[in-house]
Amino acid sequence: MRPKTEALIAIDIQNDFCPGGALAVAQGDAVVAPVNALMAEFPVTILTQDWHPAAHSSFAGSHPGAAPFSQIALPYGKQVLWPAHCVIGTHGAAFHPRLNTDQADLILRKGSDPALDSYSAFFENDRQTATGLEGYLRTRGITTLTFAGLATDFCVAWSALDAARLGFSVTVRTDACRAIDLDGSLRQAMSAMQAAGISLD
């Protein structure tokens, strides 16, 4: 078991991000087994869960005529318009059935404000509205974070970059992540994480 100052944060391992889901990441379900194995190593495990209202502003369907994966400007900046996914209370929003959710110390739901998307586990996409995760980690004396889950180039990378910016020691287990890779987003995310001093294992 690792020291009590370390935590595993498993990002958005939900049905809609796995094969057959509304926003499926290629081989997204391949992260389940390695994440379950990692949970046994860590004294603290945190799971995040995308949790959107049905008419969320990040959904292409909320903007008549807009195509999925196009971008628009919202008050907080550029926003990719996604297919509707992880709608509150639906099967798609549920964790993958093989994910060992009983090991979670905390389940953090994000993206429930209809006007704000939330990639990062720490801040919504306005970069100001905190989720409360930092306070939870500080209170528990956790200083070192390992990230895994979906998707490498969006929610995992944004979470890891925020963690590094907040002063945590950060590792991303790329073997336990999978990416969307939208218009070169994976390369950009990996470069940004390397530049931030994040360990990519």
Indicate which residues carry an active-site annotation: 12, 110, 155
Which stretches of the chain are DSSP H helices? 32-39, 133-139, 157-165, 185-195
Task: Give the position of tokens 């318009």.
Answer: 81
48, β-bridge pairs: 11, 108
Q: At a CB cut-off of 8 Å and minimum separation 6, what does 127 contact? A: 76
Phi, psi (degrees; rounded to nearest 5) at 145: -125, 140
Contact 150, 28 (CB under 8 A): yes
Which whole-number Å values give the CA distances from 122 to 163, 181, 196, in the listed order? Answer: 7, 22, 16
Q: At a CB cut-off of 8 Å and minimum separation 6, what does 13 contact? A: 28, 31, 32, 35, 47, 95, 96, 99, 149, 150
